[in-house]
Amino acid sequence: MAGHTQNLSKDELWGGNASPFGATYGKMMMWYFLVSDALTFGGLLTAYGVIRHSSSEPWPVGEQVFEALPGLHGSYPLMYVALMTFILIISSVTMVLAVEAGHRRDKKSVVKWLGYTIIGGFFFLASQAWEWSHFIHGSGGGFQINKSMTIIGELENGEKIQMSVNAGTWVNMTSEFGHEYEHAMEGGHEAAPAEEHGHGGHGAHAEEHAAPAHVDVNSLKPTELILNKYVLEHKDGKDIRKVKVTGEDCQKLWDAKGDGTMAFGANMHKNEYAIQQQYANFFFFVTGFHGFHVFSGVVINIIVWFMALGGEFERRGHYETIEKIGLYWHFVDLVWVFVFTFFYLI
Amino acid sequence: MERDDLIVNDSYAINASHSEEAGKAIRKKLYLVTLLLTAITVVEVFMGVAFKRNGTFAWETIKLGFLVLTLVKAAYIVLVFMHLGDERKNLKYVILLPYALFIMYLIFIGLYEGTAIQSAVSTWK
């Protein structure tokens, strides 16, 4: 789009008869708004960094927390969020194509590309709803142990490892056992269909939920527990993550479970992913605030789509409104690029 | 009083609409940038899954790599998609410089404070 701006001499530019910025009032103000909004997100992400940097407990690792795909069983680390990122980038591209069509005063193309942008926005919002739902429901839950002990666990490659675990260490249950236990804890409810609990990716466990009601919580015992399910520690240059503990040691860990430390999924007070509650709270706040921006963006896009369809911009003689809402939409994509890096990659 | 929000001369970008041929060139550029952004995202996800986080020098480098790739993506979005790169220099720097200044200060003070909090907490323990 080079060549849109003219080369004016300094005297002309700052002489008072031309805009030194070469932008209309509305576009200028949209940019100022975006700068202030970027400072808000910059502040939130920096706050996240400070909390994470000052935390002495290990922090959850993105590829261990986010590894589910809807309707599938198994481990697909970061695949879902990569898809979300891709959807947002593509909807950003369709938006910039709408802006370009606007510069050609091509109403049909503007309506088409803006329409695709709106669809992309809806896809992203739906994906985020699933992501939240999965995060809130969790995959099995966990608890803190109330005394220190030494146990033998098994690494992912089958290697046995001896670990001394301290009181306060976080222990996770398998999704099968955790869900069964959660149901029993809720106590005496009807056998509920799996869909009602919406933990996508675990649909294969429908049969567990069909277990008879009124299961005594105390009669349930796990056969397998997991240490470092979501976090990662290093010992002697080795990755210590997802350590399976079975048999007698599993029983020892289970007997040491601390009162009131049990957590399933995540909410504003408890979470199964980390000892630090700030992890879940930052996830909810930052991705939620971003999701709210996407939602407002979709609403604004829909309004402008109807304006374009009704020929409003033909009457005005220009499609600058598309450019302004385009700026906002790209900004939403821009923020996601950073959220993606700080919450999922690093 | 004269209104200052009206389009009064050709110095405004919106008045200078472009032709069909110019549009073709612009679209080609946009598709190339799309390809680039997608490729970077794929590389990032691959790096996130493939590389082990064992606190060694290599992982520190990879973390730095994530930051660089993220900034490259951000630069393309801002300069091409938001076409700030094509705006007049005055506008470009009025947007970019104050933000860069504030955010660099914020990150510096954040890391500094974070380190102080961590050392204070581990001293009390």
Residue A346, pLDDT > 50, answer yes
The band of A213, judged by pLDDT with boundaries at 50, 70 and 90, is low
**The pLDDT value given to residue A294:** 97
Better-predicted residue by pLDDT, A204 or A181: A181
Closest residue in A to B66 (Cα–Cα):
A341
Q: Which of A217, A232, A265 is the last residue of a domain?
A: A265
A316 close to B (CB below 8 A): no
- CB contact residues (below 8 A), chain B span 61-120, against chain A: 63, 66-67, 70, 73-74, 77-78, 80-83, 86-88, 90-91, 94-95, 98-99, 102-103, 106-107, 110-111, 113-118
Residue range A137-181, pLDDT digits in tens? 998 899 999 989 999 999 888 889 888 898 889 999 998 899 888
**The pLDDT value given to residue B55:** 61
- Both tokens of B25, joined, read 């060139």
Residues of B in contact with A51 (CB under 8 A): 114
A229 within domain boundaries: yes
Residue range A280-295, pLDDT digits in tens? 999 999 999 999 999 9
**The pLDDT value given to residue B49:** 79
Residues of A in contact with B78 (CB under 8 A): 330, 334
Do both A338 and A315 map to the same domain?
yes
Q: Between A and B, how many residue pairs show a Cβ–Cβ distance under 8 A?
A: 203
B109 within domain boundaries: yes
B3 within domain boundaries: no
Between chains, do A21 and B94 touch, taking CB under 8 Å as contact? yes
Do both A224 and A311 map to the same domain?
no
Query: What was the ipTM of the complex prediction?
Result: 0.85
Instruction: Assign residue A310 the CATH number of its domain.
Output: 1.20.120.80
Residue range A162-173, pLDDT digits in tens? 888 988 899 999
Average pLDDT for residues A102-115, to the nearest whole number? Answer: 93
Residues of B in contact with A52 (CB under 8 A): 114
Do both A198 and A234 map to the same domain?
yes
A109 close to B (CB below 8 A): no
Do both B101 and B114 map to the same domain?
yes
Residue range A247-257, pLDDT digits in tens? 899 999 999 98
Do both A134 and A162 map to the same domain?
no
Residue range B8-51, pLDDT digits in tens? 444 455 445 778 888 888 899 999 999 999 999 999 888 887 77
Domain count across chain A: 2
**The pLDDT value given to residue B57:** 67
Do both B76 and B25 map to the same domain?
yes
Do both A284 and A219 map to the same domain?
no
The one-letter amino acid at A77:
P
Distance (Å, rounded) from C-alpha B89 to C-alpha A21? Answer: 8
**The pLDDT value given to residue B54:** 64
Sheet holding A149-154, edge to edge: A142-144, A170-173, A224-227, A243-246, A149-154, A160-165
Do both A293 and A259 map to the same domain?
no
What is the share, in percent, of chain A residues with pLDDT greater than 90? 52
CA A11 to chain centre: 51
Residues of A in contact with B108 (CB under 8 A): none
**The pLDDT value given to residue A226:** 92
DSSP assignment, residue A193?
-
The counts of H helices and E strands in chain A are: 12, 8
Average pLDDT for residues A80-105, to the nearest whole number? Answer: 92
**The pLDDT value given to residue A233:** 82
**The pLDDT value given to residue A192:** 46
Containing structural domain, residue A116: 26-138+278-345
Do both B45 and B96 map to the same domain?
no
Do both A127 and A189 map to the same domain?
no
CB–CB of A48/A61 below 8 Å? no
Average pLDDT for residues A200-223, to the nearest whole number? Answer: 62
Residue range A51-80, pLDDT digits in tens? 988 888 888 988 889 988 888 887 888 889
Do both B48 and B63 map to the same domain?
yes
Q: Which of A265, A286, A301 is the last residue of a domain?
A: A265
Distance (Å, rounded) from C-alpha B110 to C-alpha B88? Answer: 33
Distance (Å, rounded) from C-alpha A29 to C-alpha A80? Answer: 35
Residue A190, pLDDT > 50, answer no
- Both tokens of A261, joined, read 């430390």
Containing structural domain, residue B95: 88-125
B55 within domain boundaries: yes
Distance (Å, rounded) from C-alpha A39 to C-alpha A45? Answer: 10
The band of A279, judged by pLDDT with boundaries at 50, 70 and 90, is very high
Looking from the CA of B7 toward its CB, the CA atoms found within 13 Å total 16
CB–CB of A265/A137 below 8 Å? yes
B50 close to A (CB below 8 A): no
B28 close to A (CB below 8 A): no
A333 within domain boundaries: yes
A5 within domain boundaries: no
B43 close to A (CB below 8 A): no
Do both B54 and B64 map to the same domain?
yes
Q: What is the DSSP string of chain B?
A: ---SSS--STTSGGGS---HHHHHHHHHHHHHHHHHHHHHHHHHHHHHHHS---SSHHHHHHHHHHHHHHHHHHHHIIIIIS-GGGS-HHHHHHHHHHHHHHHHHHHHHHHHHHHHHHHHHHHH-
**The pLDDT value given to residue B76:** 94
Least confident of A7-11, A225-229, B105-109: A7-11
Do both B48 and B80 map to the same domain?
yes
Do both A290 and A187 map to the same domain?
no
Q: DSSP 3-state assignment of A26?
A: helix
Between chains, do B18 and A4 touch, taking CB under 8 Å as contact? yes
Average pLDDT for residues A199-205, to the nearest whole number? Answer: 45
A17 within domain boundaries: no
Residue B97, pLDDT > 60, answer yes
Closest residue in A to B12 (Cα–Cα):
A22
Average pLDDT for residues A323-343, to the nearest whole number? Answer: 94
User: In whole numbers, what is the pLDDT of chain A averaged over residues?
Assistant: 86
A291 close to B (CB below 8 A): no
A11 within domain boundaries: no
Domain count across chain B: 2
**The pLDDT value given to residue A234:** 78
Better-predicted residue by pLDDT, A216 or A272: A272
B23 close to A (CB below 8 A): yes
B112 within domain boundaries: yes
Residue B3, pLDDT > 50, answer no
Distance from the Cα of B99 to chain A's closest Cα (Å) equals 7
Do both A172 and A215 map to the same domain?
yes
Residue range B70-91, pLDDT digits in tens? 999 999 999 999 988 888 888 8
Between chains, do A49 and B107 touch, taking CB under 8 Å as contact? yes
Residue A207, pLDDT > 50, answer no
Name the residue among A23, A93, A340 with its Cβ closest to that of B12: A23
- Both tokens of A206, joined, read 């429908």
Average pLDDT for residues A32-49, to the nearest whole number? Answer: 94
The band of B5, judged by pLDDT with boundaries at 50, 70 and 90, is very low
**The pLDDT value given to residue A133:** 94
Do both B32 and B82 map to the same domain?
yes
**The pLDDT value given to residue A70:** 86
Distance from the Cα of A249 to chain B's closest Cα (Å) equals 26
* CA A330 to each of CA A5, A89, A112, A233, A252: distance values in angstroms, whole numbers, following the listed order: 21, 9, 18, 38, 53
Closest residue in A to B37 (Cα–Cα):
A89
Most A-contacting residue of B2, B8, B15, B17 (CB-CB within 10 A), to test interface = B17
- CB contact residues (below 8 A), chain A span 150-209, against chain B: none
Do both B60 and B95 map to the same domain?
no
**The pLDDT value given to residue B10:** 47
Residue A212, pLDDT > 90, answer no
A273 within domain boundaries: no
Between chains, do B82 and A320 touch, taking CB under 8 Å as contact? no
B118 within domain boundaries: yes
Average pLDDT for residues A14-25, to the nearest whole number? Answer: 76
Residues of B in contact with A21 (CB under 8 A): 87-88, 90-91, 94
Residue A200, pLDDT > 50, answer no
